[in-house]
Amino acid sequence: MSCVRQAVEGDVPELVRLRALLFDTLGGDFFAPASGDDGWRDALVVVLKDQLASDAVRILVVDGDRGLAACGIGTLEQRLPGPHLRNGRIGHVIGVVTDPAYRRRGHSRAIMRGLLDWFRERDAARVDLYASADGEPLYRDLGFVDHPDPSLCRRP
C-alpha cells in the first residue's frame, strides 16, 4: 500500500524532476516546445515553495527508495457560484506523475484518493483535470466523466 504524505520544502528538487518527467512523457510541441529552455524549472522552484504554504494548494507525494516515487497537486479556485456550481469552488488536479520505476503499484490512485478527500473537506463543487491517455482509465474509475464544454486555450 502506498504511504501518501504532504510534500515539504525538501521535496522541491524531486517535484521539479517529476514535473519534467511528466512533460517528457506527454510529448509534443505544446508541452515541450522545441524552442523551450530550462528557465521554467527555476520559476517552478519559486512557485512550489510558495504553494507549499498555501491553504488553496495540496501537494501529495509517495516516497521511493531514492527520491520520490510519485506526486500529485491539487488546487482550489473560487469562482462565481451558479446553478451548476453551487458555491463556486472548483478543485483542479495538476500533474499526477509516477516515476517509471514505481509504476503499476497504486501510487497515483492513492494520491488521487488523498486529493479527492482534501477537495471534499473543502467543499469543492467540482474537480477538474486533464488526463493523459495512460491516466484516463484511473480517473474514469474514480468517477471522472467528460466535461460538456470543449477545452480551448490561447497563448498570448
The per-residue pLDDT for range 51-108, each reduced to its tens digit, is 999 999 999 999 999 999 999 999 999 999 999 899 999 999 998 999 999 999 999 9
| More confident site: 78 or 156 | 78
CATH of the domain at 114: 3.40.630.30
How many domains is the chain partitioned into structurally? 1
For residue 154, tell me if it sits in a domain: no
Please report the pLDDT score of residue 115 as a whole number. Answer: 98
Ranges of H-type helices in the chain = 12-26, 28-31, 39-52, 107-121, 136-141
The pLDDT tens digits for 117-127 are 999 999 999 99
CA–CA distance, 138 with 116 (Å, rounded to integer) = 13
Q: pTM for this structure?
A: 0.90
User: Is residue 153 domain-resident?
Assistant: no
> What's the DSSP call for residue 133?
T
Higher pLDDT, 80 or 35: 80
Asked whether residue 11 carries a pLDDT value surpassing 70, the answer given is yes
Supply the range of the domain harboring residue 99: 4-141
How does strand 68-78 pair with strand 57-63?
Answer: antiparallel
148: in domain = no
- Specify whether the CB–CB gap between 97 and 71 falls below 8 A: yes
Query: What was the pLDDT predicted at 1?
Result: 63
Residue 128 has pLDDT above 70, yes or no: yes
